[in-house]
Chains A and B, each alone.
Chain A
Amino acid sequence: MMNEFSYLYLIPLIPLLTFIFLGFTAKKIKEPISGYIGTASLLSIFILSLYTAYKYFFVVGLVDGKYQSIKIMLKENWIHFSDKLGIDIGLLVDPISVMMLVVVTTISLMVHIYSLGYMHDDTGYSRFYAYLSLFTFSMLGLVLSSNLFMIYIFWELVGVSSFLLIGFYFEKPSAVAASKKAFIVTRFADMFFLIGILMVGYFAHTFDFETLNSPSTYETIQNWIANHQIASFMGISVFTWALIFIYIGGMGKSAMFPLHIWLPDAMEGPTPVSALIHAATMVVAGVFLVARLYPLYFHVEDGFALRIVAVVGAFSALFAAIIALTQEDIKRVLAFSTMSQIGYMMMALGVSGFNGHEGLGYMAGMFHLFTHAMFKALLFLTAGAIIHAVHSNYMKDMGGLNKYMPVSSLVFLIAALAISGIPPFAGFFSKDEILTAAFEYNIFIWLVGFLVAGLTAFYMFRLYFRIFFNKQPDYGDHKPHEAPYTMLFALIFLGLMTMIAGFIPFSELVSADRMPFHSHIEWTDPLVIASILMAASGIGVAYLMYYKETSYPEKVATAMGKGYKWAKNKFYIDELYIFITHKIIFEHVSKPIAWFDRNVIDGFMNLLGLTVEKLAERIKIIQTGRMQDYAMYFVSGVIAIVMLIIYFN
């Protein structure tokens, strides 16, 4: 059993070696060799991942009605903390890690292929592929981690890969600023994550996921909480606080309100990077983290922390969807859309139960993660093709592209239908199950989700119509043209995935208790009909407003007044952060400290020096200039002090 998957260490190792190789040879190996090397390495682990998924789900399959959780230990006690605690380096194979393997390698492979065309003639071509390999390594390490501390290690590594890739065009000040912002905001969240980990280590005496998620552990914790009412803060036990802190780490990576501010700026990175990191894989790490510790979240204190997950998720979904309505930069629309959809996934986890069909929310959240990765990567990659063609991110510079870029237009339509939740495209199935789970949990949460579904359909088709139809700007001599075949291949592949992914019987594979259950869409269910109608009306309104150039958008914006302005300015959250960091922390904490250090503390030392100097003027008499005398004064003085202390004590 143990050895069947022991080859799995190759999956993160191959991209790591590729990174090291490309990193050292970035200057010598030129385009397109480095791209081919990177792509070939990804292809090999893509095949390995598919093989692993096949083997895990169908060859090993169910044992006693349950999918197995298999741990492969690579290095025990990589760091030894104490007798009970340490960081082990191990790989954990269970339904969600296998699913993530497939997601990460699929999207990464597509991005590698796409970039062969997209990054053509870029001076940083080899560096780009090196970074992509670094990211892929880190992300695969993250999803395969067998314990909390190991996931934190890879958590930081994906953070730094993201930093390097956002700041890929390092000569552009906005890219540098964006990369810095992304790193610092997520680091701030990671600080809470780390404190959460320390608390878990202290209270649960283990970092290991299998142990943490086992019934005996959470029962012990439950008993401990019951017996230690005093160990609580604001009425919530310390262990729940630990889970909340860990979740804050997840909020940072997954751009949940109020830690989302880095994600829109992260669009400064090359578009394939946005597709890979900031749409499909890294940003869902927070969702993955909650899913990874789901039994713990669900059982500790009746899932109090999970309620927070649900509320934060639902709020972020709505908040981001509203902002997405007003943005003009297509990548930013997609960024807010990503934030909104991740909110959806969080919400799904938050509303879920645990056993069998009650765990629908968990399954739906994971399913949505899977389908979203496909169609959102597709949207970003298509956006990249469009930006490539018109050399602008702004919708005002686009329009009427349908006739110039028919393939892009078609795949964009597929993806837009999928994210809007129109059957039979992938997004419909997962979204519908989330809404069903939310409805069973709480009517308000459902209502938020339902509203977001409508908004999503609207802003996606606003985008679609304005890019591909609407008024055509003057393109001049440089007529937009369809993307090269490498890019189209990735688009078409992901388009196909978006069409078929919804039919995967997900509940048979991934569930909270690792036991398959049966779920199917009840087409006559009023909830299903309502959500399809909601999506359709969103599309309909977008059609009326944007298919041709009309005066409706302006009228609506004017009618909304302040509300529109606030949404367009992202509710001024960035300004609030700048106020707190620059005005308060830098100006009123850091600056006074630096001044205090130079003037008060150091000033005191200088004063001391000066006083001694003045004093020395007076007692020059004993300055004989002979080293021995000084040494004697020094030593006898010291001895005298010691004697005095001893005598008087």
Chain B
Amino acid sequence: MDILTLFVVVPVITVLIMVLFTKDLKQARMVTLVGMLVQLLMSINLIVKYMEARGSGNHAIMLFEKNIPWFTEFNANYHIGVDGVSVLMILLTTLIVIAGTFVSWKIEYLPKEFFISLIVLATGVYGFFISLDLFTMFVFYEIAVIPMYLLIGIWGSGPREYAAMKLTLMLMGASALLLVALLGIYFTSASGGQSPTFDVLELANRHMDVQWQKIFYPLAFIGFGTIGALFPFHTWSPDGHASAPTAVSMLHAGVLMKLGGYGIFRFAMFLMPEGALFWQDFFLILAVTGVTYGALSAIQQTDLKYINAYSSVSHLGLVLFALLMINKTAWNGAMLQSLSHGFITALFFALIGMIYGRTHVRDITKMQGMMRIVPFLSVAYVIAALANLGLPGFSGFVAEMNIFVGGFLNNDLYKQILTGLAVTSIVVTAVYMLRLTGRMIFGPTTKIYTNLPKAYWYEKTAIALLVLFITLIGTIPFWWLQFIQDSVNNFIQPLIK
């Protein structure tokens, strides 16, 4: 079996083992962990293989391609392949799931089902990142989104059914738009006596009619954008995250929300370049609004998860903003920001879960002086906050700098001014992050929470793993950029002709 399909098969095997053989929490988490460690080895192997292939002069757009007919009657194939960006996204997914497993180490309610849903979700994500066929991609996309409903609805907290319903319905609504766009692409590709196709690389050669691009591009953009927290379609995110269990928030904000930017990059813009340029200025306004609006909203929040949700609106707004800038530097930044936000936000949600698990409170005004009570978690929270506000040495900085420089390198005053507006977010982010740490982490210790347990080893492992990668991106960005650049150079071609 080829190394890419394994990414989908191994999780399925893991799920099967779990369904058949595991009984309790201990076994379920062990199986999940082993399964994910296998995935990690596979991810590392993939990176090595990828570097070898590129090193030996293989400059194909996609590596390790496989094309197996699936639904021959309408020409949908199981066509897979990866390039630099997908390789990194797969690594991100693996690491976040591993961290999520550690964070859910003590989950009590239906542990087996919980881990199964988690892995199914991850399977969908893996499939999405390796798909080169719109149909296959959409199938995997839905596989990733649907377990979310169960995970929030069953293991969530607060108004979980409302939140799960809202999240699922909004994402489903967006999927419908996306499906319209995908089918549009499919049907219009039939011109010139050729049969219609879902194949991405094939579609790129056929060059979709410009009129159609203008109609279907915004649908695809909003369809993908909704899951990427595009303003004003982001409101599922605060409620959804607030109710979701920790590992689910981590995976959702850390990985699933990245599908939006990735989809726009890989499919929407690549297949509909003229449409993208036509709608560029309009969506840029939405993206910049999201960046500043998300940050300003976050100032007013007192619930840790809401702060983080709005922070995500702002930071993922930057991903969309960078993609819409349509130049290589900004796109490098968009991909780095996807990774960076993935790790940082997963770290945040992990910490929020750990703190909430101890205090049963998420309101920052009700906590104080946590530094003395849970020092490890507090230090980690400060690190996460500093990484989130773009401190050099952490991943956020290098990603944002690529985005800002890229935005500013456009020979267009309008885009430069918008970049200036986006830059203001670095100040606002500092305001809400420091407000949070000032209220919750620092200050005199309150009497209410004095005897809380210190961080456990599995919690420390999850945190250390995430911090490690945040620092690795922040200190050796060139290593990560070599993967990204290679992919960006190919996929930006249709847009900068």
What residues of chain A have their CB less than 8 Å away from a CB belonging to chain B?
75, 77-82, 85, 87, 149, 152-154, 156-157, 160, 167, 170-173, 176-177, 180, 183-184, 187-188, 190-191, 194-195, 198-199, 201-202, 586, 589-591, 593-594, 597, 601-602, 605-606, 609, 634-635, 638-639, 641-643, 645-646, 649
Q: Which residue of A lies closest to B181 (CB)?
A: A642
B159 CB within 8 Å of chain A = no
Q: A79-B481, A594-B301, A597-B297 are in contact. Are A171 and B442 (CB under 8 A)?
A: yes
- Interface contacts beyond A78-B478, A199-B408, A586-B299: sample of 10 additional A-B pairs, CB < 8 Å, sorted by A: A153-B392, A160-B391, A170-B442, A171-B445, A172-B444, A184-B434, A201-B408, A201-B409, A202-B408, A605-B166
B419 CB within 8 Å of chain A = yes
Q: How far is the CA of A646 from the CA of B431 in the complex (A)?
A: 49
Min CB distance, B355 to chain A, in Å? 17
Q: Interface size class for chain B?
A: 35 or more
Min CB distance, B50 to chain A, in Å? 19
B296 CB within 8 Å of chain A = yes
Pick the 6 closest A-B CB pairs, nearest first: A594-B300, A602-B235, A198-B408, A153-B392, A170-B442, A176-B442
B34 CB within 8 Å of chain A = no
B494 CB within 8 Å of chain A = no
Q: Which residue of A lies closest to B419 (CB)?
A: A198
Some 17 contacts from A to B, beta carbons below 8 A apart, are A77-B478, A80-B481, A80-B485, A81-B402, A82-B328, A153-B392, A160-B386, A171-B444, A183-B430, A591-B300, A593-B296, A594-B301, A609-B165, A638-B176, A638-B179, A642-B183, A642-B187
| Residues in chain A near residue B390, CB distance under 8 A | 156
Q: A187–B369 contact, CB under 8 A?
A: no
B418 CB within 8 Å of chain A = no
Q: A184–B430 contact, CB under 8 A?
A: yes
B95 CB within 8 Å of chain A = no
Interchain CB contact (< 8 A) of B443 among A176, A187, A593, A649: A176
B423 CB within 8 Å of chain A = yes
Q: A171-B369, A180-B435, A183-B434 are in contact. Are A81 and B300 (CB under 8 A)?
A: no
- Candidate in A82, A590, A602 with the most chain B CB atoms within 10 angstroms: A590
Q: A609–B166 contact, CB under 8 A?
A: yes
Contact with A along B320-347 (1 / 0, CB 8 A): 0000000011000000000000000000
- Candidate in A75, A194, A199 with the most chain B CB atoms within 10 angstroms: A194
| Residues in chain B near residue A184, CB distance under 8 A | 427, 430-431, 434
Q: How far is the CA of A153 from the CA of B390 in the complex (A)?
A: 10
Interchain CB contact (< 8 A) of B402 among A79, A157, A180, A634: A79
Q: B409–A202 contact, CB under 8 A?
A: yes
B371 CB within 8 Å of chain A = yes
B19 CB within 8 Å of chain A = no
Min CB distance, A379 to chain B, in Å? 29
| Residues in chain B near residue A589, CB distance under 8 A | 296
Q: B430–A187 contact, CB under 8 A?
A: yes
B69 CB within 8 Å of chain A = no
Q: B232–A590 contact, CB under 8 A?
A: no
| Residues in chain A near residue B176, CB distance under 8 A | 634, 638
Contact with A along B282-315 (1 / 0, CB 8 A): 0000000000010011011100000000000000
Docked complex: B411-436 residues within 8 A CB-CB of A = 416, 419-420, 423-424, 426-427, 430-431, 434-435
| Residues in chain A near residue B438, CB distance under 8 A | 176-177, 180
Docked complex: B160-179 residues within 8 A CB-CB of A = 165-166, 169-170, 176, 179
Q: B423–A82 contact, CB under 8 A?
A: no
What residues of chain B have their CB less than 8 Å away from a CB belonging to chain A?
165-166, 169-170, 176, 179-180, 183-184, 187-188, 211-212, 215, 232, 235-236, 239, 293, 296-297, 299-301, 328-329, 369, 371-372, 386, 389-393, 397-398, 401-402, 404-406, 408-409, 416, 419-420, 423-424, 426-427, 430-431, 434-435, 438, 441-445, 477-478, 481, 485
Q: How far is the CA of A357 from the CA of B153 in the complex (A)?
A: 77
Q: A195–B423 contact, CB under 8 A?
A: yes
Q: How far is the CA of A586 from the CA of B431 in the complex (A)?
A: 11
| Residues in chain B near residue A646, CB distance under 8 A | 184, 187-188, 212
Min CB distance, A370 to chain B, in Å? 28
| Residues in chain B near residue A79, CB distance under 8 A | 398, 401-402, 477-478, 481
| Residues in chain A near residue B434, CB distance under 8 A | 180, 183-184
Q: B478–A201 contact, CB under 8 A?
A: no
Min CB distance, A84 to chain B, in Å? 9
Q: A79-B477, A187-B427, A609-B169 are in contact. Are A645 and B402 (CB under 8 A)?
A: no
Q: How far is the CA of A365 from the CA of B187 in the complex (A)?
A: 72
Q: B235–A157 contact, CB under 8 A?
A: no
Q: How far is the CA of A605 from the CA of B434 in the complex (A)?
A: 32
| Residues in chain A near residue B371, CB distance under 8 A | 170-171
Q: A180-B434, A198-B404, A638-B183 are in contact. Are A590 and B297 (CB under 8 A)?
A: yes
Q: Which residue of B lies closest to A157 (CB)?
A: B392
Q: Which residue of A lies closest to B209 (CB)?
A: A649
Q: B426–A593 contact, CB under 8 A?
A: no
Q: How far is the CA of A593 from the CA of B295 in the complex (A)?
A: 10
| Residues in chain B near residue A198, CB distance under 8 A | 404-405, 408, 419, 423
Q: Which residue of A lies closest to B300 (CB)?
A: A594
Q: A188–B427 contact, CB under 8 A?
A: yes
Min CB distance, A25 to chain B, in Å? 14
Q: How far is the CA of A173 from the CA of B309 in the complex (A)?
A: 27
Q: How far is the CA of A153 from the CA of B401 in the complex (A)?
A: 10
Q: How far is the CA of A523 from the CA of B101 in the complex (A)?
A: 77
Interchain CB contact (< 8 A) of B405 among A85, A191, A601, A609: A85
Q: B442–A167 contact, CB under 8 A?
A: yes
Min CB distance, B476 to chain A, in Å? 8
Min CB distance, B89 to chain A, in Å? 20
Min CB distance, A321 to chain B, in Å? 30
Q: B409–A194 contact, CB under 8 A?
A: no
Q: B183–A81 contact, CB under 8 A?
A: no
Q: B180–A78 contact, CB under 8 A?
A: no
Min CB distance, B65 to chain A, in Å? 28
Q: A201–B296 contact, CB under 8 A?
A: no
Q: Which residue of A lies closest to B170 (CB)?
A: A605
| Residues in chain A near residue B398, CB distance under 8 A | 79
Q: Which residue of A lies closest to B485 (CB)?
A: A80
Q: A183-B434, A184-B427 are in contact. Are A82 and B409 (CB under 8 A)?
A: yes
Q: Which residue of A lies closest to B420 (CB)?
A: A195
Min CB distance, A246 to chain B, in Å? 14
| Residues in chain A near residue B166, CB distance under 8 A | 605-606, 609
Q: B405–A81 contact, CB under 8 A?
A: yes
Q: How far is the CA of A33 from the CA of B402 in the complex (A)?
A: 42
Q: How far is the CA of A113 from the CA of B187 in the complex (A)?
A: 76
Min CB distance, A316 to chain B, in Å? 22
| Residues in chain B near residue A183, CB distance under 8 A | 430, 434
| Residues in chain B near residue A591, CB distance under 8 A | 300
Q: How far is the CA of A638 from the CA of B183 in the complex (A)?
A: 8
Min CB distance, B334 to chain A, in Å? 14
| Residues in chain A near residue B405, CB distance under 8 A | 81, 85, 198, 201
Q: Which residue of A lies closest to B165 (CB)?
A: A609
Q: How far is the CA of A190 from the CA of B184 in the complex (A)?
A: 47
Q: How far is the CA of A87 from the CA of B166 in the complex (A)?
A: 44
